[in-house]
Amino acid sequence: MDKNQKQNKFDVIIIGSGPSGYTAGIYTARAGYKTLIISGILKGGQLMNTTEVENYPGFPEGILGPDLMNNMLQQCKNMGTVLISDEVSSVDFKQYPFLIKISENKYYSRSVIICTGATPRKLGIQSENFFSAKGVSYCATCDGPFFKNLELAVIGGGDSAMEEAIFLTKFASKVHIIHRRQKLRASNIMQNRAMTNDKIVFHLDTKVEEILGDHKVKSLILKNTITNKNKKLNVGGVFIAIGHVPNTSLFKDNIDLDNNGYIILKNKSETSVRGIFAAGDVHDHSYRQAITAAGFGCMAAIDVDKFLTRIDK
């Protein structure tokens, strides 16, 4: 290994940031391991696009998502973690130490923690982006309490959409489920729970054409996919629940993924390749919370410590 390779050699490389990546970095650096976080272009992940976070422990008055992530970032730096704000171009987990490339720059590591997260599927209309964090949300458990006593819309027809709608009835005056087909994709039990809830109204064979408002969502323009007729629906918030896409295309030829692209964990937080670990939404399709992502980051870091301790003996 030449001089440049030695300089770019780490005990732990964490791919991705957010609560899982930053927590893992705090733990591994604090344990004395030379740690590199390759954060991606958007340091801090999805929370950088959120406003108030009320349910992260330790902040009784709440905290802005970017402030929470910047606090974690600073804590990583204080522990001595090296950070690079760039995208990984390729990985090779078949060689050891593992190879991670950023453009033409090569980095080597004795262990890797993947924290690249998952991206919510979007409707693909321009107003969706404009009203993001202004009434458009992708997480009812995160943002539902901000919408008390309002009429809300949930877009989607699967189990996640039913779960989001049922959860939102705790806060909303009424919840409208909007699905572009006549038949829902949700399981029968979830459909029945939603259909027997007095606060939930269904709009089937219907898609969202436009989201309207000023600085916040005020209404939707809905289009019936059978008649092509439009109608206006007044709502104070829109929750889009049409699934997530795990950010794992980089790893598909290196580790085992399930049919939906999520990383399969074989032994606690370890993947199908010994020495490669994963944390957060990149494998978790059930909880998808900042606090659970941070917890998974802690778990992965502890598992890395055990792995490196074993191979150092």
What positions carry a catalytic annotation? 139, 142-143
Beta strand 244-246 pairing with 237-240: unpaired
Pairing of strands 206-213, 217-224: antiparallel
The CA distance from 140 to 167, in Å, is 7
Pairing of strands 237-240, 206-213: unpaired
**97: preceding bond cis by omega (within 30 degrees):** yes
Helical packing angle, 18-30 and 65-79, nearest 10°: 20
Q: What is the DSSP string of 142-199?
A: HHGGGGTT-EEEEE--SHHHHHHHHHHTTT-SEEEEE-SSSS--S-HHHHHHHHT-TT
What is the rounded CA–CA span in Å between residue 167 and residue 141? 7
Q: Which of 286, 261, 22 is nearest to 139 (CA)?
A: 286
CA distances from 296 to 53, 153, 159, 197, 312 (A): 19, 31, 24, 34, 24
CA distances from 269 to 72, 167, 304 (A): 21, 29, 9
Phi, psi of 126 (to 5 degrees): -60, -40
